[in-house]
């Protein structure tokens, strides 16, 4: 499978960095994984010592997931347009 261009290249995202090296069948997985890791990091003090929740890191987790959802939407639209273009080429011949 060819690597698809990433829409979030202009924005820094740990999921985008991971997606450059890991190409799972479900395109949201790199962003979901990094979002889950950031969520765990934000909650770590709360779970381990009863400390406060790091809301900045929790916000970064939401940001990662938002970028992943935008990336998934772009991949779906690219796949739909490529399959419709192939169908049009087959119909023309």
Q: Give the pair of three-digit tokens for residue 56.
A: 């900045």
The reply to whether 32 falls in a domain is: yes
The reply to whether 92 falls in a domain is: no
Give pLDDT, residue 93. Answer: 66
Neighbouring C-beta atoms of residue 15, cutoff 10 Å? 25
pLDDT band at 18 (very low <50, low <70, confident <90, very high): very high
Q: Angle 64-36-11 (CA atoms, 0-180°, nearest 5)?
A: 15
Q: Can you give the pTM of this predicted structure?
A: 0.70
The reply to whether 15 falls in a domain is: no
Q: Which long-range contacts (CB under 8 A, 24 or more apart) does 33-36 make?
A: 34/61, 34/64, 35/61, 35/62, 35/64, 35/65, 35/68, 36/61
The reply to whether 37 falls in a domain is: yes
Q: Which of 28-32, 46-50, 72-76 has the lowest mean pLDDT?
A: 72-76
pLDDT band at 65 (very low <50, low <70, confident <90, very high): very high
Q: What confidence tens digit (pLDDT) does each residue in 37-47 have?
A: 999 999 999 99
Number of domains in the chain: 1
């Amino acid at each position: 499978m060819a690597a698809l261009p990433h829409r979030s290249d202009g924005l820094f995202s740990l999921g985008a960095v991971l997606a450059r090296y890991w190409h799972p069948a479900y395109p949201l997985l790199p962003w979901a994984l990094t979002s889950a890791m950031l969520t765990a990091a934000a909650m770590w003090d709360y779970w381990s010592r009863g400390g406060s929740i790091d809301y900045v890191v929790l916000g970064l987790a939401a940001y990662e997931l938002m970028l992943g959802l935008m990336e998934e939407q772009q991949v779906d639209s690219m796949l739909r347009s490529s399959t419709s273009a192939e169908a049009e080429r087959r119909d023309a011949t």
